[in-house]
Amino acid sequence: MKITNESEYENASERADEIFNAKKGSPEEKELQELLKAIKEYEDDFVRMLRDNN
Q: What is the pLDDT of residues 18-49, one digit of tens each?
A: 999 999 999 999 999 999 999 999 999 999 98
pLDDT over 80 (residue 54): no
Answer whether 28's CB lies under 8 Å from 19's CB.
yes
DSSP the chain: ----SHHHHHHHHHHHHHTTTPPTTSHHHHHHHHHHHHHHHHHHHHHHHHHHT-
Q: What are the sequence ranges of the domains in the chain?
A: 6-52
Task: Report how far apart, in Å, the C-alpha atoms of 33 and of each of 5, 11, 17, 54 are.
Answer: 19, 15, 12, 32
* pLDDT for the residue 29: 98
The rounded distance, in Å, linking the Cα atoms of 25 and 23 is: 6
Average pLDDT of 1-6? Answer: 94
* pLDDT for the residue 6: 95
